[in-house]
Structure 1
Amino acid sequence: MFEPLLADIWASLFKMKPEIRAKDVDSILEVNKSLMVKIMADEYFVNYRRFTRLDDLLSAICTVKFGEKTNQWLADQKEEDEDFKKQMQEINAMHRQLQKQDWQEEAGNDSQVSKEDFTEAMTKFDKKLNQMLQSDSQSFSQALAQAMQETKQVKAGLKSLLGGYGAGSGDAELKKIPLRDQLVLAEKMSTDKTMKEIAEWAGRFKQIARKKQKSIHRDSMERRGVTLGNEIERLLPLEFGLYMHPITKNDFLRRFVEGQTMQYEQKGREVLEKGPIVLCLDQSGSMSHLDTQSKGFILTLMSIARKQRRDFCLILFSTRTQIHKYEKGKIKGSDMVSLARTFLGGGTNFALPLDQAMNVINESQFKQADLVFVTDGEDTLNDSFLLTFNKKKKEKDFNVLSLVLGSSTKIVEQFSDRVIQIYDFDDAGSFTAFEI
């Protein structure tokens, strides 16, 4: 009975004007009808639909959540009421027997269950269920409220994982991703604690990145003369004076509406196409306690790459490397699940990831790549490697920002343009990476 119940729940959440129209339904669906009447009569149901109506993702997530909570409520009632439990067991046994009879096409067997007996049992059970829904309506309503709250949390997590760093960009970014991928991630968000933590860190870091990038954009703008328009933040002080004076206020408002007020003309400095963003991330054993933080950090840099339409390359390293390339910073839901589960462990080798990073940057047609190197370990690099690396860095015009977690910076300084010591990824120093 549960599969058609889920279909009804989905329709009630997704459709524009859902209503229960069937007066008489098959006996096996009487219970579903009682549950749907209760769900749609819930005092907060109309409010829930404000979020789910015509929303493929939210209605699907909420359907599963409502189904889970309804199933759990029935299980709880079964444990508390012996008669309810007995009726459920009898109905399940009768239903299995009816299915068996249909499969085997038996006839004239005295042990057979008649459909009339099953219908009578379902009617009796439906009556019992309605009594319980009436007597314990508060717990059922609370279960629905909890389901809706979990739905919102999952949606917020998905926006943190898949959205950009721009304010209000989460929903727009989600719509670019196939619904199947969204649902795969939604399932993981519901059951996997690690995914939830990664989403929380990604959400926090993207807010910080937004401020960092906004500051960069503001600083890159130059005032070049005066033009006409109606952008408040660019109006000349003279226009504000005219607005404040009672005699000239109406004239100002007219010109403002028509876009004829004087404002500063601003032009951004020329932006050249840049090469990839390459992140070399230490995944030696000592970094395991920062794993969820680091994944949130990765997703934030990836969102910056997506915004800037730059390829993003992630090089995980320990004593081996694992390379993941994301064109224009785009990542599939399945790749994100795989990334969340990945941790290399082992020791630390600097030469491996740096060599791989050089190969990636060599493949790029653009100069001005950005390489972010993150480690909490120490290693040695021979002079010939450093000479080759620094020569290539000059040729390809790329910068290296190194974030060092609580260890010596002596070796890292030999191949980096800037080195910042941090305690963890939530340290203000690590946010420098969001300025690239």
Structure 2
Amino acid sequence: MNWHDTRARASALRELAEELGARHEGADDLVADVFLAAYQAGEPRPRRRAEMDPSRWVNHQVVTALTEAPDLDELRRTTAGDPYAAALAVLALAPELRRMLEHTRQARSWAERAGEAGRSAENAATAVAEALREAADAADGSDAADDAVGRAVRAAEAAEAASREAAHRAAQALEAVAPGVRAATRAATARAVALAREEAALMLAWGVAPGERERMPFDQRLRLAGRLGTSRLARWADLIGRFRRMAEGERARGVRDASGELVGVTLGDDLSRVIPSELAHLGLPALRAVFAARYAAGELMLYDQRGEAPTGRGAIVACVDTSHSMYAAGPDGVTREAWAKGCALALLDQARHARRDFVGIVFSAADQVEVFRFPAGAGGATGLVVEFAETFLGGGTSYETPLTAAVEVLEREYDDEGRAHGDIVLLTDDECAVTEEWERDWREARRRLGFRLFGVAVGAPHVAREDSVLHALCDNLRRVEDLTDVHSAADLFRVI
């Protein structure tokens, strides 16, 4: 049932079965067997060859080689119980299946002849039995009846001999191609394992959870896997995945009002930070009243700790520079764009985790800007995520256009929903001027909406100079020189 259902929904799988079935007898059954070997929960066990029609002996040989392949168990860890993954494995095996079917064409021909000869022998045996019944029914025991029996027996003996000869030749042909089938099956299984790992890694890197992946329609999932695999940023899937994992780890650390680094002793009434000598007063009845009086006056001695706590409540807006210079790569080949996009996708995860809206703004020159909106609780929207990550405008650099767009997003959110204290992250590698009039409007908007601007100078230390425009605009500015290091932005994910 799962095979027929998946075949009906997966056009690529259906087309493969139809293509092979039209060229090779029984090849559509082989595709079904390969799918089930990957999909079924229990360990796949082929039937004995003697139980099968000889026309399917080649299929049996291929499936037996598949079940004996060293990598099958590893492949089944990703395919068992997942019809899409099993179908993807079949498609990964398709080139080798085509070659094996061509390679075994002669063996298949002999096997089909053996099947036809076997059926002829069965028909001849049936004819003998019929002749014997007719002879027994003949009342006079005529010679004609005896002759009919004799002819039927000789025909049956000839058919049986032809069947044995055809089966022998088919077995020889199968034995001749067996080493090639085993080698091809091992290679195909190893390739399917590699593709399954790659698909799982790509999906995970782009934030597609396994549950979401399994719920996707087959053709949509296949298209998405193909798109992710050919994306301009596909080579940086590992970098994007490391950004997401780093951000997840920082979320676990960045808890509101969490204790931080111990820097001294202060006075106050926070009982969670009272030093032990103060608590000792509670053990002496005569001093409990003193403790209560100091607590009421806020004069208890407390550990003074300095930590980072997230305070934003509005949207997170990532403004990603895609000017020509962002295409530059470091010594390891990672581009500035890839680092910035990886950081932005991790910020998208951050917003989803905190149930905040996320807006990605891709910008370049003053007239080049594209805005991608991801409302809180709106679901995966993986296609839009990929579009955001793939967009590269390739012009000059203007701060005013993207930052104005970011303010408009926060202003609309404040007017519609009353949420303030958003966070804007500007990822750029270039320096540009802003007008005095724009800067006045910017400061007024920041005062009214209470947002913060975090700047990240990607691979361009000069942008983060103290006399730079970016330094003057940002509440918090850091520079990234090593484009393989995702932890240089770790504090962003503790405070945003």
Report the TM-score, using the length of structure 2 for normalisation: 0.61
| Equivalent in the alignment of 2:475 | 417
1:47 to partner: Cα distance: 4.7
Whether the 8 Å CA contact 1:58–1:151 is kept in 2: the answer is: yes
Q: Secondary structure at the match of 1:334?
A: helix
Deviation at 1:303, TM superposition (A): 1.1
Cα offset, 1:213, TM superposition: 1.7
Contact 1:34 1:130 in 2 (8 A): no
- Change in Cα spacing, 1:45 to 1:420, as seen in structure 2 (3 Å) is closer
Aligned position for 2:8? none
3-state DSSP of counterpart to 1:58: helix
Larger radius of gyration: 2
Alpha-carbon distance change, 419 to 398 in structure 1, aligned in 2, over 3 angstroms: same
The answer to whether residue 35 in structure 2 is matched with residue 16 in structure 1 is no
Question: What is residue 63 of structure 2 aligned with on the other side?
Answer: 36
Shift of 1:205: 1.0
Of all paired residues, the percent bearing the same amino acid is 22
Determine whether 1:282 maps to 2:321.
Answer: yes
Report the equivalent of 1:431. 490
Q: Is the 8 A contact 2:312 2:423 kept in 1?
A: no
Q: 1:341 aligns with which of 365, 380, 390?
A: 390
- Classify 1:386/1:35 alpha carbon distance in 2 versus 1 (closer, same or farther; 3 Å): same
State the Cα deviation string for residues 96-132 of structure 1 (Å, max 9, x = none).
Answer: xxxxxxxxxxxxxxxxxxxxxxxxx9x9899746532
Tell me how far apart the structure 1 counterparts of residues 353 and 96 of structure 2 sit (CA, whole Å). Answer: 39
CA 1:362–1:421: 2 relative to 1, 3 Å: same
**CA distances 1:170-213 after superposition (whole Å, capped 9, x unpaired):** 43564576655433232334x52745323211111122212322
Deviation string, structure 1 residues 131-165 (Cα, Å, up to 9, x no partner): 323356345324312321331232122112115xx
Partner Cα distance (1:327, 1:178) in 2 = 23
Residue 372 of structure 1: which of 425, 435, 438 is its match? 425
Instruction: Say if 2:356 is the partner of 1:298.
Output: no
1:188 correspondence with 2:223: no
Q: Secondary structure at the match of 2:478?
A: strand
- State the distance in 2 between where 1:16 and 1:140 align: 21
1:49 aligned residue: 76
Indicate how the Cα distance of structure 1 residues 60 and 212 shifts in structure 2: closer, same or farther if over 3 A, else same. same
Q: Supply the distance in 2 between the matched residues of 1:321 and 1:182 (Cα, whole angstroms).
A: 30
Summarize the alignment of residues 70-85 of structure 1 with structure 2, pairs less than 5 Å apart. Answer: 70-71=97-98, 74=100, 84=103
Q: Deviations over 1:71-101 (max 9, x none)?
A: 4x649xx7xxxxx49969x99xxxxxxxxxx
**TM-aligned CA deviation for residue 355 of structure 1:** 0.9
Residue type at the aligned position of 2:474: S
User: Structure 2 counterpart of 1:354, which letter?
Assistant: L
- 3-state SS of 1:279 partner: strand
How many equivalent pairs are there? 350
Aligned counterpart in structure 2 of residue 316 of structure 1, from 357, 362, 376: 362
Q: CA RMSD in A?
A: 3.8
Q: Secondary structure at the match of 1:54?
A: coil
Alpha-carbon distance change, 282 to 26 in structure 1, aligned in 2, over 3 angstroms = farther
Q: Assess if the C-alpha contact under 8 Å between 1:276 and 1:312 holds in 2.
A: yes
Separation in 2, partners of 1:324, 1:274: 19
Contact (CA 8 Å) 1:302, 1:330: kept in 2 or not?
no
Letter matched to residue 212 of structure 1: E
Partners of 1:157 and 1:361 lie apart in 2 by 32
SS in 2 for 1:374: strand
Shift of 1:221: 6.6
The structure-2 alpha-carbon separation of the partners of 1:178 and 1:311, relative to structure 1 and needing over 3 Å to count, comes to farther
User: For residues 6 and 393 of structure 1, what CA distance do their matches in structure 2 show?
Assistant: 62
Distance apart, 1:351 and its partner CA:
0.9
Which of 349, 352, 360 is the equivalent residue of 2:401?
352
CA distance in 1, matches of 2:483, 2:313: 25
Question: Match for residue 7 of structure 2?
Answer: none
Contact 2:35–2:86 (CA under 8 A) maintained in structure 1: yes
